[in-house]
Amino acid sequence: MTSNNDWLNRSKQAVWHPCTQMKRHETLPLVPIAKGEGAWLIDFDGNRYLDAVSSWWVNLFGHCNPRINDAIKQQLDTLEHVILAGFTQQPVVELSERLAELTGLGHAFYGSDGASATEIALKMSFHYWRNLGLTEKTGFISLKNSYHGETLGALSVTDVALFRDTYAPLLRQSHQVMSPDWRLAEPGESREDYAERCAQSLADYLEVHHAHTAALIVEPLVQGAAGMGMYHPVYLQRARELCDRYQVHLIADEIAVGFGRTGTMFAHEQAGIKPDFLCLSKGITGGYLPLSVVLTTDVVYQAFYHVDVTRGFLHSHSYTGNALACRAALAVLDIFRDEDVIESNRTRAAWFSALMEPIYRHPKAQYFRHTGMIWALDVVTERPDFANRCFQQAMAQGVLLRPMGKSLYFMPPYVVDGEEVSLFVSTTLSILDAE
Ligand SMILES: *Cc1c(COP(=O)(O)O)cnc(C)c1O
């Protein structure tokens, strides 16, 4: 029998782990996971951890979900993958049709990771304007504290200093506008009024710079990497109006918030708007396989449709439209349909919010916030090592929490029950009490 220790030592030798100063693992042990079961992760020594972060926001219906497992197994014995340039296959066609039905965006371009979806949307937007002869429209706007991925193009519109500053000399300039995250509102200012004020500052920028701007990219309703910053949907309405007025694309990066996370299938629905580009990934395969997609409109698609090869979108990834990943995504959409997930999540979210009341009332909890299946709070703490301590304290109680700075959040797979939510609540209360 191998134990946790064997695997963590071998991993430290051979695996360079993401988003990690590896020296940190001299004191903080890696956690080798042997298997997954619903909302739980189990290590090689048999310890169980509630996956309260959905394995970096990707898992929707639990680990080793029988329906998704079956779908992938069937596809595996039929066709695992085929080049998508010049060829097509059943899962990619069906998935594109069903995503078009759900979003009203009828053209699907596939990538593998979220960051590649961001790259695709930025390049398509720029190329669209170029195909129209508007070659000056090369600029991008994003929100303060935005996160859109970490490849160079995506990092150019990402505003997280820790990820960005080191690579700044490699990045294209982009412009950041006020974030509507309501934690930044003035005392006494309503969330809606603050969102309107932010929209006004976007209007001021666009009025001057629209001729040189290709697109505005936003994370609709929730800025994930900003520590689950949440905002009023009126901002998206205003952004849509302004983008229309000034001939600027609106890119909705729903890589984290798509697929029911905010309480509707897609977050932008809550503003009653349609983006020009919709980026999806993470939950799209239920957290099984890397797949991303950019959905766009007929108008955009037609601007590339031409006898001239270079007016086409000459972009590709080797695993574009991978059949196994698309099959997993179709199984995810089947679960949404057959189990009426959006509706049942609505009931469950209200119940879970009620269970969280003791957190909300705790004197060390600030800005308690909730959208759909995401709950977050900022912890009043002076400790610079809060995030590390909190992670370790929670793991000791059997809960995987991964705070961002002082922001602690609960973003579980949709299969959690009341008992599991109560475990999150008691763990969080003990963390708050220790501050
Ligand atoms: C995670 C994330 C990305 C990047 O996706 P990767 O698959 O990690 O490249 C982009 N945008 C948002 C909003 C995300 O949360």
**CB-based burial label for 367 (10 Å; 0-12, 13-18, 19+):** middle
Q: Is 256 in the pocket of ligand 1 (CB under 6 A)?
A: yes
What the block records as the tokens of 273 is: 């708007």
Each domain of the chain, given as residue ranges in start order, spans 31-64+340-434, 69-338
Ligand 1 mutation target, pool 53, 146, 148, most atoms within 8 A of CB = 148
Question: Which ligand 1 atom sits closest to the C-alpha of 256?
Answer: 15
pLDDT digits (tens, 9 = 90+) for 30-42: 999 999 999 999 9
- Ligand 1: which of 281, 284, 292 to mutate, judged by most atoms within 8 Å of the beta carbon? 281
Task: Give yes or no for residue 1 having a pLDDT over 60.
Answer: no
Average pLDDT over residues 212-239: 98
Residue 405, burial from CB neighbour count under 10 angstroms (0-12, 13-18, 19+): middle
Mean pLDDT of the chain: 97
43 lines ligand 1 (CB under 6 A): no
Burial of residue 13 (CB within 10 Å: 0-12, 13-18, 19+) is: exposed
pLDDT of residue 120: 98
**With a 6 A CB cut-off, is 254 part of the ligand 1 pocket?**
no
pLDDT at 179 over 60: yes
Prediction pTM value: 0.98
Distances (CA, A) of 61 to 8, 54, 291: 27, 9, 17
Instruction: For residue range 385-417, list pLDDT tens digits in order.
Output: 999 999 999 999 999 999 999 999 999 999 999
Residue 33's DSSP bridge partners are 43
Q: What's the CATH code, domain 69-338?
A: 3.40.640.10
- The reply to whether domains 31-64+340-434 and 69-338 share a CATH topology is no
The correct answer on CATH 3.30.70.260 for the domain covering 31-64+340-434 is no
Tell me the per-residue pLDDT of 117-175, one tens digit each, with 9 for 90 and over: 999 999 999 999 999 999 999 999 999 999 999 999 999 999 999 999 999 999 999 99
- Could you tell me the pLDDT band of residue 2, with boundaries at 50, 70 and 90? confident
Region 55-63: what's the mean pLDDT?
Answer: 98
